Homo-oligomer: A and B are copies of this chain.
Amino acid sequence: MSPPKSGAAKAGDETTQQRVLRAAVRLFAERGFHGTGIRDLAAAAELTTSTLYHYMTNKDDLLVEIMMGAITPLRDAAAAIRADIADPATALCAIVEHHVWAHASDRLATLVTDTELRALSGDRLKDVLTLRDEYEGLWRGAVEAGVEAGVFSTAHPNLAARALLQMATGVSHWFSAKGRLKLDELCRTYADNALALLRATDPDGKPLVRADLNVPSPTRYLSPLP
């Protein structure tokens, strides 16, 4: 009930915890988890190391927090898309586009999530892996649904799903908002690439392209921010 002592006054202001998370995401992405020291982290968040420990329990848990925060909305969005959209080609496009959109617009957090799994072990690793496996399962399911419906044609559906996922995840390695390519055009192109790779066809056997479909905007399935 009492007003906060510092910051967080106006809406849109960043809490100290968010500042810590943002600094960690940037440094973990630039230098890697083990390449980032507590002192680097504290300096980037403009805190002393002791104060830093007031806002986190330890470095490992900070990484888990970043990863969970990146994967959970992806899984929720993919689950919602599969529940909402019956047409396999449209659903797959929506999943691909949401994934690409997230990896481009939250590039560093997704990059950390995809590259620092080996820094974790034990229960922390298990928790993140469980979530990630759920998410991958939704991709596999989307591909399989299309194969069963006769819309997709691929010799190894599971292999294709993994290939598509890794292709789309790669966006976080190079995307720049300053580049020539607009975000929505990028998403559409990856959806088209996915349909092509799966040799998607309409009932007449004609190759299916994204423009034939009514794919919802990638921002449609945003999770409410914490």
Assembled-state Cα–Cα distance A152/B79 (Å) = 34
Chain A 155-169, CB within 8 Å of chain B: the 1/0 string? 110011011101101
Main secondary structure of the interface of A (DSSP, over half): helix
Partner of A189, one of B156, B170, B174, B186: B156
A178 within 8 A of B: no
A181 to B157, CA, bound (A): 13
Please tell me which one of the listed residues B163, B173, B181 contacts residue A190 in the complex, with CB atoms under 8 A apart: B163
Which single residue of chain B is at the shortest CB-CB distance from A166? Answer: B170
CB closest residue in chain B, given A201: B207
Contact residues of A between 171 and 206, Cβ < 8 Å to B: 173-174, 181, 186, 189-190, 192-193, 196-199
Check B159–A163 contact: CB distance below 8 A.
no
* Distance to closest chain B CB from A104 (angstroms): 12
Whether a CB of chain B sits under 8 angstroms from the CB of A122 is: no
Question: A192 contacts which chain B residues (CB < 8 A)?
Answer: 155
Contact for A174 among B162, B190, B197, CB less than 8 A: B162
Q: Which residues of B lie under 8 Å from residue A156 when comparing CB positions?
A: 181, 189
**Within 8 Å of chain B (Cβ to Cβ): is A35?**
yes
**Best-buried of A33, A169, A174, A199 by chain B (most CB within 10 Å):** A199
Please, what's the 1-or-0 string for A125-166, where 1 marks a CB less than 8 Å from any CB in chain B? 000000000000000000000000000001110011011101
Q: Closest B-chain residue to A121, C-beta based? A: B31
> Which chain B residue lies CB-closest to A170?
B166
Is the CB of A119 closer than 8 A to any CB of chain B?
yes
A119 cross-chain contacts in B, Cβ below 8 A: 32, 35
Contact B193 A163 (CB under 8 A): yes
A163 partner residues in chain B, CB cutoff 8 A: 167, 170, 190, 193
In this assembly, does A61 line the interface, its C-beta being within 8 Å of a C-beta of chain B? no
Chain B CB count within 10 A is highest, among A34, A35, A160, A163, for A163
Q: Is B155's CB under 8 angstroms from A189's CB?
A: yes
A33 vs B32: C-alpha distance in the bound complex, in angstroms? 10
Question: A220 contacts the other chain (Cβ, under 8 Å)?
Answer: no
Chain B residues near A197 (CB-CB < 8 A): 193, 196-197
Asked if A115 CB lies within 8 Å of chain B CBs, one says: yes
